[in-house]
Structure formats: C-alpha cells, structure tokens
Amino acid sequence: MAETMSGAVAPQTRRPMTMKRFVRRRSTIAFFMALPLILLIALLVVYPAFFSMYLATLNKSMERFVGLGNFEFLFKRDTFWMVVKQSCIFAVSAVFFKALIGFVLAHFVHTIPAKGQRKWRGMLLVPWVIPPAMSTLGWFWLFDPTYSAFNWIFVRIGIDPVNWLGEPFWARFSVILVNIWYGAPFFLIMYLAALKSVPDQLFEAASIDGANWWQKIWYITLPMMRNIISITVLFSLIVTFANFDIVRILTSGGPVDQTHVFATWAFNLGIQGNDIPLGASVSLFMFPILGIAAIFILRGVNKRGNEA
Amino acid sequence: MTAGKSFNRRRFITTTAVASAATLGAPYIRTAHAAGSLSVGFWDHWVPGANDTLTKLCNEWAAKEKVDIKIDYITSQGSKLQLTAVAEAQAKSGHDIIQLASWDAPNNAKNLVPVDDIMKAAIAKNGEAPPVVDYLGKVDGHWVAVPGTNGSQVKVPCGRIDLLQKYAGLDVVKMYPGQGGKPDTAMQDQWTWETFLSVAEKCFKGGNPFGLGLGQTTDSVDWVGALFHAFGADLVDAKGNIVVKSDATKQVLEYAQRLVKVLPPDVFAWDDASNNKYLISGQGSLIMNPPSAWAVAKRDNIKVAEQCWTFPAPKGAKGRFAPGLPYFWGIWKWSKNVSAAKSLLTYLSQRSSVEQMVAASGGYDIPGFSGLRDFKTWAETAPPVGTVFNYPPRADQIVSMAGTPAPVRIAQQIYTQATMTKMIAKCTQGGESIDKAIAWAASECEGFMRT
C-alpha cells in the first residue's frame, strides 16, 4: 500500500499491463518453462485418457455410440465383480504390507550410523531399481510350476512342494508377495527422508519426560510423518491398482481368472479378445473411485500443511 | 560460416532455376527401386535362421520387381505382434503388409485389402485351403488375408518312443512310420482318446506322465479344443446358438476328470513353455506341440530328441482333430503400394517359396494349402529320421481351432478367455460339479454374444 508524504493513503493505481511486462512476469516465465512438460503430459496422458473414455462409450465393433452400455454389461458379469474384488485385495494388502515393511526398514536404516547407512540404503533399493518385468521373470523361475527353486529347497528339508502359481490361494499370495518385494523400497526411502526431517530435540524431550519407544513412535514419529504417509499410500494405491506386469508375467490372470486385476483383464478383453471398448471400460472403472480418494487424501494433506 | 561468398537473392534465384531445369529436363531412368517401396511386418520366427530364408526370398522378389523392401520381424512374445496389428489398425498407418495371428485376420477384415485374386491362383496351384484356414481367412465369401506359411502350426502329440513302448507297449513308429514305412492301420484305428487315457495312466504310474497344460495360454487351449471337437462338444454352434448344455460336453468333462488325475498337479499353471520344458527335461512322455520342443531338445538334450516322434492326435466319436493355429499375411487398406504387396504375397505363396520356408523352419511351419504337405523336409528331418514325417496333417485328420464352429466374434472369445480349459479346471481342481461348470460356461457364452 502506497502512502503519500502527508500520510494520507493514496488510491492504488494499476499500471497498464504491457506485453513486455507480461512476458517478464515470473509466473509467465514459469509457465513457459513448464510448457514443454505440460504439452508432453497433454499428449501422453490427457489425450489417451480422454480417448480411452471415448472408446468406452462405443460398441464392440467401435461403430456405434452406446453411452454407458459397456459398464451396464460389465456390472452383470460375475467375472467382472471377481476382478473388482481381486484388484481390491491385491492393491490394499500389497500397499499395507509395503507401507509396513517400508516403515520398519526405514527405522532400522535410520538407526544405522551415517557411515554405513549409504551401503544399506543402496542395497535395499535394488528391488525398486530393477525393471519389474525382469525381476518378475526371476520370481517366475522361483515359483515355476514344475521346477520351482523354492520347492527344490522345500523337498530337501522335508516340506511338501507348493503349487505356487496353480492353486488360487498361492497364486494370489505370489503376485502380492512380488508386488510387496518390488514396492517396499519406495516406502523405505520416502519414510527415511521423512524420519530424517523429524527434529531430534522432540525425541530428546520425550525421553526426558519418560516416553518409551512405542510412545515416541505414536506421539512423535507418526504425527510428523502423517503427510508423507498419506501421499505415499495414495500414490502407491494408484500405481498398484494399475499394476499389469507382475500378474501378466507370473500367472496371466490364472488359474481360472483368479489373479486377474483390472489391467490384465482389460488387456485380455481389449487386445486379445478384440473388444477394445470393453477393455477400456474395465480400465476406467477405478478412475472415479481413485479420483475421489485422491481428493480426500490431498485435502487432508493440504489442511495439515496450512495448520503447520 | 565464411563471409567471403555470400548467397544473395540473385544467386539463389539463378541456382534454383538451373536446378529446376536440370530436374525437369533430365531423361527418366529406371532406378533400382522404380516400383516404389514396401514395408512388411513379419512374425519373428522361433527357429533360428528361418527369418533369414524369408528375408532372402523377399529380397529376391524385390530385386526382380525393382521394389525397395523393408522388413520388420515382430515377436509374438508379450503379444507384441497382436499389439502392433491393433495399433496400426487404430492409427490407420504402419506397414503395407502385416502378419496376423489367427483371429486377427477376420477381426481386421474391414481394414484389409481383399485378396481373392491371389488366393484363386494359389489354390489352383497348391490345392484347397483347409477348412480352418477358410474359416479364418474368408469373411463374407471374400479372402481378406493369405495363409502365411511362417508360424502356422498344428499341435499334435510328440511322444517318447522309448517311454511309450516301455510303459504301455505302444509302438508309435509302427503305428505312424516315417516315409516309405507301412502304417499299421489297425493300430491307427485303435488310437482313440480312450487309448490315449490308458497310455497316460500307465506312463503316470511309471513316473513319466504326459505333459498337457490346462492353463489359459494357446498350447493349453488348442489341445483341449481338439479334445472337445473329438467328443462333439461345441459350446456355441455355427449359427450362434449356445449348445454347451449337451451330453457330449458332460462326456468330455467326465473324460477330463479321469485324465487330470494322471497329469502333473501343476498343469493348471502351465504356460506355452512349460510343456516344452517338461519334455526336454526327460520327465514327460508325451506333449502336444509343434516340433519346436523337439528342436530345442536336439540342441540341449540330444538323448531325448533321439526318442521323440510326432504323430497324429487320437480320434474320438466325431473324428481325429489336429489342433491348428494358422497365421495370415494381410495388406492394409492404407497401403500405398497394393500392387507390389499382392505381387510379394503371390511370390511367397508359390510352392518353391513355401518349401524353402518349411525347410528353414525345420518342418515347424505348416503351409495353408492341402497340396503342400509332401515336402522332403518332413521326411528327412532327424534324429530319428522321420521324427516329424507325420507332423503335417494328412489322411483322416481335421485341423480345427478351439471355439469353432461358432461365428468368429464368439469363437474368439471362447478361445481367448480359455473357456474350455477353465471348465475342466472348475470341475477338477476347483471341485465343482460338471453341471455347475457347464452352467458357468453357458453364462460366459451369453456374455460373448455382444456385438
């Protein structure tokens, strides 16, 4: 607010926005610098997303508009609801264990002296760094129906071999296990970063007050990490719901469709079954649900950020 | 850049005028690629060296026709071949010729140039196309694609001579000898699915079970499709009526319940590599597969390869069905060089070209014409000599695809959703009753009717 020599408040005058000034504004520069990325996202994410929505409104031969007819059809199919259930079991259990293991590991690594920590961090990140299609092939050989390396060991120690990928329960267990193995390091690194940002003084004060290990976690660590936990869980939930490679390589959705998740079933229907609109509808089913979840989680994060 | 010789406006105009005059005034010279260019997407063959022969054939044709040809070999691993066809059909651009796996030929009919002219000439020279090729390659009475030699296959039994003889006293070489041998027709008549089960039981007891997958990939679906056909158990008839609730379906599922008991317990998780590994390792006494398993055994475990013999599938009440998987070559409608594309496909469909492709594949490829089943490759391939002599379907064999005779759009769903192997899994591993498995299949088929 400008003040005149006499102390009276002068009316705010707005200088006319010239082209030169517009271009020199920081927000304009920022926009132009981000423009290549925005265009890239528009091309590779927004366009395919809208195209997929358009495809989901067509009939099987893609010649007629059917509105929500494909969803209506899906809702009447038992297999669809089985895939919904499996996708939820897969995503929720995998994310829960990834978060839990990541949290525990982050605490262990955090307690390691700084000198040796880098080595451990590097080793624990390996599963996340290897391309999942490649590491899943390794897991496939461990679970191989006939020549499983795990079973080879089991037989030698007197345990009956397990039909890892042939029994519905074990097949589900296997795909979830591989997803946890692959995704836990992401949680580890995020939680480790969050842990490092918690001021040591808080723990020292709690120790002086007589807080035990559990109370420190419950009253200091968890509240301080709430935002990062929310964001990582949300991010991981979205990625895990959309998982394709692990299930595709390990089981292809079998036995009897009992490990299919949205992406693998959509591929099966859309590409292999030549029903692209139905495949698009399956892959879009979770979009509104995850969208609403994202809004609530991010609103909570924002709220806590403002309170802070 | 040097400033000494500036390229001013006057000089630019002079240079452009001279260049234009030279271009327009020059006489027409027929260059090496005067007939334009052609881009082809072929399936990447499993057999080492098979692609080289196809490339050689294409280059010979290109040199003769003055066409600049570009070939891409696209693997079917991870459904890449299928994905390429889908992507090109969506984008309406890509190769001029594309190799199409079985169902993709009729699926893309509206995007393909009719090839009745090529097929008329090819059939006149090479004999009729088998019914399964006709079923997939023809839409509304017109050929939409040419049967591709490379990749087309049948999945008949490949058994171990020694193990089948040892456990079941079955002399497969006597039953189906190599070239020049006198087939034992009495044994052939007795080679039924019941005999097959009895031999499977004996091999299982002997510790070397049959390796027949019951997963959801093509190898499993193909042999189960032939089994269903042999029993006359169709899920949907040619008119599109659901006919799965039949005595024949009950009988085939009852049979499957008995057969599953003598197969390895993990067959429900098998993929297309599992049966090959099972035979090559020496554990399996019989699989149903093209000779690729034998070819790998020849490289990795010669003692197993020396005992392998490929022979026709058993017969059932409705006949002897060979599970087939034909491939096709199609020309996209947006091709800018349709005449060259047709010329190439005509060249590749000639007997001499087909014979070279079959030889390069070690007999793996099955030509899409009934008159091209007598190449010496199948007679001479060894060890043992004649091991794949009986691989190409002849005599009483009917090449079939799982899901047929239903209309293509329904049959493809039955095939890709592996409905038949799932029916078997449900009433065996899943512990459900046969009636429940049939009711489930009927409900699935209802869903496949959508247009």
For B215-233, the pLDDT digits (tens) are 999 999 999 999 999 999 9
First to last CA, chain B: 65
Distance of residue B376 Cα from the nearest chain A Cα, in angstroms:
36
Cis peptide before B157 (omega within 30 of 0): no
- Closest alpha carbon within chain A to B427: A256
CATH number at residue A131: 1.10.3720.10
- Closest alpha carbon within chain B to A252: B216
pLDDT averaged over every residue in chain A: 88
Task: Please tell me the distance from the alpha carbon of residue B95 to that of residue B38, in angstroms, as a whole number.
Answer: 8
B4 has a pLDDT exceeding 80: no
Distance of residue B208 Cα from the nearest chain A Cα, in angstroms:
13
Q: Where in chain B is the domain with CATH 3.40.190.10?
A: 37-153+325-380, 156-324+390-448
Distance of residue B419 Cα from the nearest chain A Cα, in angstroms:
9
Q: Is A135 on the interface with B (CB under 8 A)?
A: no
Distance of residue B341 Cα from the nearest chain A Cα, in angstroms:
26
A62 lies in a domain? Answer: no
Question: In chain B, which residues have their Cβ closer than 8 Å to the Cβ of A255?
Answer: 215-216, 268-269, 425, 429
**Pair B79, B98: CB distance under 8 Å:** no
Final residue of a domain: which of A6, A31, A55? A55
**Pair B168, B199: CB distance under 8 Å:** yes
Considering only residues B9 and A110, tell me which one the structure prediction assigns the higher pLDDT. Answer: A110
pLDDT band per the 50, 70, 90 thresholds, residue A289 = confident
| CB-based contact A146 B277, cutoff 8 Å | yes
**So what's the pLDDT on residue A213?**
87
| CB-based contact A146 B86, cutoff 8 Å | no
Cis peptide before B384 (omega within 30 of 0): yes
Task: Please tell me the distance from the alpha carbon of residue B58 to that of residue B436, in angstroms, as a whole number.
Answer: 53
- Closest alpha carbon within chain A to B217: A252
Question: In chain B, which residues have their Cβ closer than 8 Å to the Cβ of A52?
Answer: none
**So what's the pLDDT on residue B18?**
59
User: Are A254 and A120 in the same domain?
Assistant: yes
**So what's the pLDDT on residue B2?**
41
Q: Tell me the per-residue pLDDT of A248-262, one tens digit each, with 9 for 90 and over.
A: 999 999 899 999 999
**So what's the pLDDT on residue A51?**
93
**So what's the pLDDT on residue B317?**
96
**Pair A226, A303: CB distance under 8 Å:** no
Going by C-alpha positions, the residue among B439, B447, B386, B384 that lies closest to residue B413 is B447
Query: Under 8 Å CB-to-CB from A8, ≥6 apart: which residues?
Result: none
CATH class for the region spanning B37-153+325-380: alpha beta
**Pair A281, A53: CB distance under 8 Å:** no
**So what's the pLDDT on residue B48?**
82
| CB-based contact B86 A61, cutoff 8 Å | no
A128 lies in a domain? Answer: yes
| CB-based contact A60 B416, cutoff 8 Å | no
Residues 49-78 of A with CB under 8 A from B: 59-61, 73, 77-78
10 Å Cβ neighbour count for A19?
7
Task: Please tell me the distance from the alpha carbon of residue A277 to that of residue A267, in angstroms, as a whole number.
Answer: 11
Residue carrying structure tokens 């006939």: A146
User: Are A189 and A228 in the same domain?
Assistant: yes
Of A59, A77, A167, the CB nearest to B447: A77
User: Are A32 and A150 in the same domain?
Assistant: no
Q: What is the maximum alpha-carbon separation in chain A?
A: 97
**So what's the pLDDT on residue B61?**
96
What SS3 state is found at B153? strand
User: Are A176 and A93 in the same domain?
Assistant: yes
| CB-based contact B215 A255, cutoff 8 Å | yes
**Pair B47, B59: CB distance under 8 Å:** no
User: Are A28 and A107 in the same domain?
Assistant: no
Query: What would the two tokens of residue B212 be?
Result: 């027949």
Q: Record the pTM.
A: 0.85
10 Å Cβ neighbour count for B53?
19
Of A79, A257, A271, the CB nearest to B83: A271
DSSP one-letter string for A103-141? HHHHHHHHHS-HHHHHHHHHHHHHHHHS-HHHHHHHHHH
User: Are A153 and A292 in the same domain?
Assistant: yes
User: Are A206 and A125 in the same domain?
Assistant: yes
Final residue of a domain: which of A31, A55, A79? A55
Distance of residue B403 Cα from the nearest chain A Cα, in angstroms:
13
| CB-based contact A146 B266, cutoff 8 Å | yes
Task: Please tell me the distance from the alpha carbon of residue B267 to that of residue B283, in angstroms, as a whole number.
Answer: 14
Distance of residue B84 Cα from the nearest chain A Cα, in angstroms:
10
**So what's the pLDDT on residue B3?**
42
As a CATH number, domain B156-324+390-448 is 3.40.190.10
User: Are A175 and A81 in the same domain?
Assistant: yes
Which stretch of A4-8, A239-243, B48-52 has the lowest confidence by average pLDDT?
Answer: A4-8
Q: Provide the residue range defining the domain that includes A155.
A: 70-307
**So what's the pLDDT on residue B338?**
96
Question: In chain B, which residues have their Cβ closer than 8 Å to the Cβ of A251?
Answer: 269
Of A59, A271, A273, the CB nearest to B451: A59
Which of A77, A147, A256 is the best residue to mutate to test the B interface, defined by the most B CB atoms within 10 Å of its own CB?
A256
A180 lies in a domain? Answer: yes
Final residue of a domain: which of A10, A29, A55? A55
User: Are A125 and A36 in the same domain?
Assistant: no
Across the range B323-340, mean pLDDT stands at 96
Which stretch of A8-17, A48-57, A210-219, B189-198 has the lowest confidence by average pLDDT?
Answer: A8-17
Of B82, B277, B443, the CB nearest to A272: B82
Task: Please tell me the distance from the alpha carbon of residue A12 to that of residue B21, in angstroms, as a whole number.
Answer: 69
- Closest alpha carbon within chain A to B268: A166
User: Are A144 and A39 in the same domain?
Assistant: no
Q: Tell me the per-residue pLDDT of A119-147, one tens digit each, with 9 for 90 and over.
A: 888 899 999 999 998 999 999 999 987 88
The structural domain count of chain A equals 2
**So what's the pLDDT on residue B20?**
55
Q: Tell me the per-residue pLDDT of B123-140, one tens digit each, with 9 for 90 and over.
A: 999 999 999 999 999 999
The pair phi, psi for residue B150, each rounded to 5°, is -65, 125
**So what's the pLDDT on residue A22?**
77
- Closest alpha carbon within chain B to A265: B417
**Pair B287, B275: CB distance under 8 Å:** yes
Considering only residues A209 and A308, tell me which one the structure prediction assigns the higher pLDDT. Answer: A209
B293-302: long-range pairs with CB below 8 Å, 24+: B293/B158, B294/B158, B294/B387, B294/B388, B295/B47, B295/B362, B295/B364, B298/B383, B302/B383
**Residues of chain B above pLDDT 70, percent:** 92
DSSP one-letter string for B234-299? -SB-TTS-B--SSHHHHHHHHHHHHHHTTS-TTGGG--TTHHHHHHHTT--SEEE--THHHHHHHH
- Closest alpha carbon within chain B to A79: B444
List, in sequence order, every residue forming a beta bridge with B73; answer none if it has no partner: B42
Count of A-B CB contacts under 8 Å: 84
User: Are A206 and A86 in the same domain?
Assistant: yes
User: Are A35 and A92 in the same domain?
Assistant: no
A2 lies in a domain? Answer: no
What SS3 state is found at B156? coil
The stretches of B151-192 forming alpha helices (DSSP H) are: 161-168, 172-175, 185-190
Distances in Å between the Cα of A90 and the Cα atoms of A250, A262, B249 are 14, 11, 35
